[in-house]
Amino acid sequence: MKEILILGQQGQVAWELQVTLATLGRVTVLGSQDLDLADPDRIRAKIAALQPQIIVNAAAYTAVDKAESEPELAMAINGTAPGILAELARKSQALLIHYSTEYVFDGRKTTPYLETDTPNPVSAYGASKLAGEQAITQVDCAHLILRTTWVYGNRGKNFLLTILRLAAERPELKIVADQVGAPTWSRSIAEATAQIIAQSHPDRSNLKGIYNLSAAGKTSWHGFATEIVSEYRSHYPDRHLAVENILAIPATDYPTPAQRPAYSILDNSKVLADFGVQLPDWNASLGQLFARWQ
C-alpha cells in the first residue's frame, strides 16, 4: 500500500484529496498547525520521519493581495518549500505533486496559455508560485506540477463563498467583467489528481513535468457571480438572497494591491493527451456542486 502525504489539511483541494486518494493508499494529512512550510528544518525532519512514497503539496500562501506586503513569507511557503520537498522526494525516490496557478503569467495573451509559454508574473503571489515551479524542476525528482485557475469549492475562502455571503447581505453587487478565466471546482482537481496517480507506471518514470489542469469553458468574474446566484436560487428556492442586481464593472473600478491577469485561460490538451484527463465545463461543475451542497 502506498504511503501518501497530503500537505494543506483545511485547503479546498487538500480537503477533497483526502477523499479521492483514500482508495489509492494510506493517507497522512498535515495542516499548517502540524508543519510550518516557512521552516525548512521542520519540513526536512517531518518528511524524513514519515517517508511517504507520494507527496501531494496542496498547501500554499494564497492571500494574493496580502502577499504584496508579505512577499518574503509568500516566497518562503510558495517558492522555497516546494524545492525542499523536491529534494526530499529525490532522496527517497518519492513522487511530488504540486499545484500552481495561471498567476505565473501576465494575462496579456488572447489565446489559451500552453505549458511552454514564457511566464511573466505581475504580482508577488505569482512570482512566488513561479519560484516554486522553478525550484522543483531544477531538482531531478519524479514530479508533476499542475497549474489550475480560479479554484472554488464549498469550504475555505474563495470567490463562490464570498459572492453567496454578499448576495445574502446586499441588494446590489459590482463585479469585474473584463478579467476572463475558467472557474475550477476543487473536487474536479482532486479527482483528476487521483486519476493521474492511479494510471501511472509503478516506477513513476512517466511522471515529470508541468501540466495545465483547469475547467473547460471560460467566463468573467461577473459571469461567474451571475451564474452562482442563478444556480443557488435554482437549487434552493426557499433560501433567501437579498441581491437584485449584479452590475458589470471594469477592473479599474475595483483596484486591488495585487494586479490580476486579464486573461487566465489554460490549454489543457497536454494532460488529456498524456493521461486522458479532461475536466468538465465550469458551468456544469458549478451545477454539480450545488446539487451536492449541504
List Cα–Cα distances, 5 to 17, 45, 70, 106, in angstroms: 10, 14, 28, 32
Q: Give the distance, in angstroms, between the CA of residue 62 and the centroid of all CA atoms in the same chain.
A: 9
b/e map 202-211, b = 16+ CB within 10 Å: eebeebeebb
Which one from 125, 152, 211, 232 is the annotated catalytic residue? Answer: 125
Which segments of the chain does DSSP mark as H helices, in order? Answer: 12-20, 40-50, 71-75, 81-92, 124-137, 159-169, 186-199, 221-235, 269-275, 282-291
Helix, strand and coil in the chain, % to nearest 5: 40, 20, 40
113 flagged as catalytic: no
Angle at 73 between CA 71 and CA 77, to 5 degrees: 115
Topology of 2-156+184-215+265-280 in CATH?
Rossmann fold (3.40.50)
Tell me, what's the pLDDT at 204? 58
> CA angle at residue 183 from 182 to 185, to 5 degrees?
130
Query: Coil, helix or strand for 41?
Result: helix
Q: pLDDT digit string (tens) for 66-103?
A: 999 999 999 999 999 999 999 999 999 999 999 999 99
pLDDT at 1 over 80: no
What are residue 30's DSSP bridge partners? 7
Domain residue extents for the chain: 2-156+184-215+265-280
User: In the prediction, which pLDDT does 292 show?
Assistant: 86
In order of 55, 57, 86, 290, the CA distances from 161 in angstroms are: 29, 23, 33, 12
Percent of the chain with pLDDT over 70: 97
**Strand, helix or coil for residue 30:** strand
> Residue 149 to residues 25, 76, 180, 233: CA-CA distances in angstroms?
27, 22, 10, 25
Q: Does the structure show a pLDDT above 80 at 64?
A: yes
Predicted local distance difference test score (pLDDT) of residue 56: 97
Whole-number Å distance between alpha carbons of 27 and 280 = 26
pLDDT of res. 201: 61
Would you state the cell numbers that stand for residue 110, as one nine-digit string? 488572447
The residue written with cell numbers 503571489 in the block is 125
Give the model confidence (pLDDT) of 159-189 as tens digits: 999 999 999 999 999 999 999 999 999 999 9
pLDDT of residue 293: 78
Among the listed residues 272, 263, 242, 281, the one whose alpha carbon sits nearest the alpha carbon of residue 105 = 263
C-beta of residue 197 within 8 angstroms of C-beta of residue 253: no
pLDDT of residue 136: 97
Residues 203, 276 contacting (CB under 8 angstroms): no
**Grid cell of 79 as nine digits:** 517558492
Considering the chain, what percentage of its residues have pLDDT values greater than 90? Answer: 90
Average predicted confidence (pLDDT) for the chain: 94
